[in-house]
Amino acid sequence: MPENQSSDGDSAAPPAGTSVPLMARVINQGFVFLLAALCCAGCSTAPLDNARSHFIAGRLQEADHDLAILPHNGNSVLYLMERGMIRHHLRDYTNSTADWLEAVRLEKALEVHSVSRAGTSMIVNDAVLSFRGYPYEFTYLHAFLAQNFLAQGKWEDAAVEARNIAHRLEKLDEFPDDAFCRYLTGLCFELNGDESNAAMQYRQVLRLEPGSDLDATTGRFRSPTAPTNSFVAAPAEGELVCLLGFYGTFGMIPDHADIVIEGKTVGSSRTLVRRLQLECASSQRMAARHATKKLSRIVLKEAIAEAAETHNQNLGELLRVILFSMETNDNRRWETLPAKLAVARVPCPANGMRFDIEFKGASGTVLKRMTLSGPFMRKNKMSVAIASDNP
Amino acid sequence: MSRILSTIKSATVILSAISLGAGCSAFRASVQNDDVAAASAKPMDTGYDFGDLRWLGDTVAADMIATSIIGDASRKPILVVMGIENRTDEHIDTKAITDTMRTKIINAGKADFVNESRRDNLIKEQGYQLANCTPETRTMIGKQLGARYMLTGSLVKLTKDTPRQVRVSKQEQVYLQLTVEVTDLETGLIAWTTQKERVRSARKPIIGW
């Protein structure tokens, strides 16, 4: 195509019967279509948003239904994470475990950086990349898998996941550590008779949450009035470990939960981690890398638009508008993770089959009360229960 | 105009080539019906696979058959398998290892095993026979044989990979160690033990298409 004709572009009316401006229009439209398609590729999908809305409203079956069909794109891992969590809350531990194990498998495949997706992300945005998440999200994949196995009494499998958590927490690379995951790891080791490694994890919990009143040698919590460093002996009959997730589905995120057995409060939960803190710390850790990439992408987009402008003013302008309208942050997160995670470890009767959980605000107001009925998985006098305030 | 036409022609040629290529066997899924020799199948990565299962099961069984408590015993000893503890970071079916070992040892005629995993079915069937079967054909209650030895063990895995550095591939080494113990149920002493080690190394790219 002669340069003088192409630079005229669409501004001049095309002479009748001449196909050159027609071709230019076709190319322009092709660009628009291509870029629109790229734009859509990075958009978050409606089923995921619907499922999250249903989940947080306590409509778990609807949420599960929303994610019945998994996409085969860069969001597969995120879908599996969210669906696994929905099924975990439905107590469908088998399918929840299958989803999360598949997410772990896919995440390992993501260790290979895709040049094609990375290249596309340099001219579109980071949302076209496969979801990689922050390290804490993948640590929680193992943490919730461990909880699924504990709920099923598969102690050895829970310990397998605990080892995976420990591996991940050993390679933090300045990302935030996590007291809840440490406690869960210690608990799984303790249940499998590995007392020394359990104590090592409990010491890390104490380091991260010094106010938790934890006796690091036993993994039990002291009463607030007991002297620090005092040894907490094993209860005579048995003990109950309750792993709690706080969502705040009734408008307020609980401060703590009390465990009530036969009408008597036997202990309170200790909050060990807040998701927002993990997210902020991880975001800060990645801020410099994200800023550098964003700056490079802006420079590249401007260079592409300028290059197009030298051939066709309108096309250049159009490209600039499209390219910069696609500039957005990658905000994909595992959103069905609880806002807070807590642990209660309390004495309980040997044949305890039923107890109440009172989710309370900071002032002590009961926000929600629920009854958990057994049988609870039990090993060496220790029963394990998993609960959250959702639904 | 002629440049546009030539571009369209080139694009058509490329598209045709891709379409033809899509029909090639390399682009199609295929299944081989021929049996792949399990022993000679190459591992795909450092993960635990059927090669490890076979090797661990076979070598431990061979060692057990050669021991004095099993191989040289005047009477075939009776064993009970109480499982191998999985102390790795993979969900490994360790029962498959003991199944392999048990099959080898029974087929060699060197020991007997009680079927501990089917005790509930056994008792149920005996109860059924007691209630419903003729006296001549029903099995006798209280005639089961007791095991003299208990087989236990643990599987451990250690992984080492290359540290963070500028690189285009990642090397990983995996060490598997299986410890198997045979405990005398009468004395409580460990009558025999063995350890098997396996190290596998793999390099995988960290940049792909």
Quote the ipTM score.
0.73
Name residue A96's amino acid: S
Q: Tell me, what's the pLDDT at B149?
A: 96
Fill in the amino acid letter for A200: M
The amino acid at A377: M
Q: Which of left, alpha, beta for B164 (phi over 0: left; psi -120 to 50: alpha)?
A: beta
Q: Positive or negative, the Cα torsion across A299, A304, A307, A313? A: negative
Predicted pLDDT at A29: 59
CB contact (8 A) between residue B85 and residue A101: no
Packing angle, helices A135-151 and A76-89, rounded to 10: 30
Residue A4 contacts B, CB cutoff 8 Å: no
Distance of residue A242 Cα from the nearest chain B Cα, in angstroms? 24
State whether A20 and B1 contact (CB < 8 Å). Answer: yes
Question: For A90, phi and psi rounded to 5 degrees?
Answer: -80, 0
Query: Residue A336's pLDDT is what?
Result: 95
Q: Which chain A residues in 122-161 lie under 8 Å from chain B, judged by CB atoms?
A: 156-157, 159-160
- On whether the CB atoms of residues A143 and A165 are closer than 8 A, the answer is yes
DSSP code, position A76: H
Give chain B positions within 8 Å (CB) of A111.
Answer: 170, 204, 206
Instruction: State the nearest Cα–Cα gap between B180 and chain A, in angstroms.
Output: 17
The answer to whether residues A128 and A94 touch, using CB atoms and an 8 Å cutoff, is no
- Predicted pLDDT of residue A16: 45
Inspect the interface and report whether the beta carbons of B204 and A111 lie closer than 8 Å: yes
DSSP H helical segments within chain A, as ranges?
Answer: 3-8, 20-41, 46-56, 60-66, 76-89, 93-109, 115-123, 135-151, 155-170, 179-191, 195-208, 275-311, 313-325
Instruction: Please answer yes or no on whether B87 and A114 come within 8 Å at the CB atom.
Output: no
Q: What's the rounded Cα separation, in Å, for the pair B202 and B44?
A: 9
Q: In a 3-state reduction of DSSP, which class is residue A17?
A: coil
Single-letter residue type at A195: E
User: Smallest CA–CA separation between A141 and chain B, in Å?
Assistant: 14
Contacts of B82 in chain A (CB under 8 A): none
What H or E segment, with its residue span, contains residue B105?
helix B94-107
Quote the minimal CA–CA distance from A121 to chain B in Å: 14
The pLDDT of residue B64 is above 60: yes
How many CA atoms, within 13 angstroms, populate the side-chain half-sphere of residue B92? 25
* Contact yes or no for B87 and A159 at CB 8 A: yes
Residues of B in contact with A2 (CB under 8 A): none
Q: Which residues of A352-389 are buried (b: 16+ CB within 10 A; e: fewer)?
A: beebbbbbbeeeeeebbeeebeeebbbeeebbbbbbbb
Chain B closest-CA separation from residue A223 CA (Å): 34
Q: Would the CA dihedral through A334, A338, A344, A349 be positive or negative?
A: negative
Interchain proximity B90–A160, CB inside 8 Å: yes
Q: Among partner residues B3, B4, B206, which is closest to A112 by beta-carbon distance?
A: B206
Q: List per-residue pLDDT tens for chain A, 391 residues long.
A: 344 444 444 444 444 444 445 555 655 555 555 555 555 444 556 899 999 999 999 999 999 999 999 888 889 999 999 999 999 999 999 999 999 999 999 998 887 777 787 888 888 888 888 898 899 999 999 999 999 999 999 999 999 999 999 999 998 989 999 999 999 999 999 999 999 999 999 999 999 999 888 999 999 998 877 777 778 888 878 899 999 999 987 778 999 999 999 889 999 999 999 999 999 999 999 998 888 988 898 898 888 888 888 888 888 888 888 888 888 888 899 999 999 999 999 998 877 678 999 999 999 999 999 999 877 888 888 999 999 998 7
pTM metric for this prediction: 0.81
Are B207 and A112 an interchain contact pair (Cβ–Cβ within 8 Å)? yes
Write out the two tokens for A168.
């991940």
Average pLDDT, chain B: 85
- Name the residue among B80, B108, B104, B69 with its Cα closest to residue B194: B69
In a 10 Å sphere around its CB, with 0-12 CB exposed, 13-18 middle and 19+ buried, how is residue A343 labelled? buried
Measured from the Cβ of residue B32, the count of other Cβ atoms closer than 10 Å reads 6
Composition of chain B by helix, strand, coil, percent to 5: 35, 30, 35
Task: Decide if A310 contacts A221 (C-beta within 8 A).
Answer: no
Query: Tens digit of pLDDT for each residue in B160-171?
Result: 887 766 667 778
Q: What is the DSSP annotation of B107-154?
A: HTTS-EE--GGGHHHHHHHHHHHHHHS-TTTSPPTT-PPPPSEEEEEE
Which residues from B are below 8 Å from A167, CB to CB? 89, 159
DSSP line for B11-33 = HHHHHHHHHHHHTSGGGS-----
- Closest partner CB to A164 (pick from B85, B89, B205): B89
Q: Bridge partners of A386? A: A243
So what's the pLDDT on residue B206? 73
Q: Cis (ω within 30 of 0) for the bond into A254?
A: no
In this prediction, residue B37 carries a pLDDT of: 66
| Inter-chain residue contact B88 with A111, CB threshold 8 Å | no
What are all long-range contacts of B158-167, with beta carbons under 8 Å and residues at least 24 apart?
A: B159/A167, B159/B46, B159/B89, B164/A173, B167/B206
What residues in B contact A159, CB-CB < 8 Å?
A: 86-87
Distance of CA A149 to the CA centre of its chain: 19
Amino acid at B84: I
Distance (Å, rounded) from C-alpha A48 to C-alpha A70?
10
What 3-state class would DSSP assign to A208? helix
b vs e for A284-315, b when ≥16 Cβ sit within 10 Å of the residue's Cβ?
ebeeeeeeeeeeebeeebeeebeebbeebeeb
What pLDDT sits at residue A381?
87
Q: Give the residue numbers in B contacting A (CB under 8 Å), as ranges.
A: 1, 3-4, 85-91, 159, 164, 170, 204-209
Q: Which residues contact A257 (CB under 8 A, 6 or more apart)?
A: A242, A244, A246, A268, A269, A342, A344, A357, A358, A359, A360
Report pLDDT for B41. 72
Residues B86, A20: C-beta atoms closer than 8 Å: no
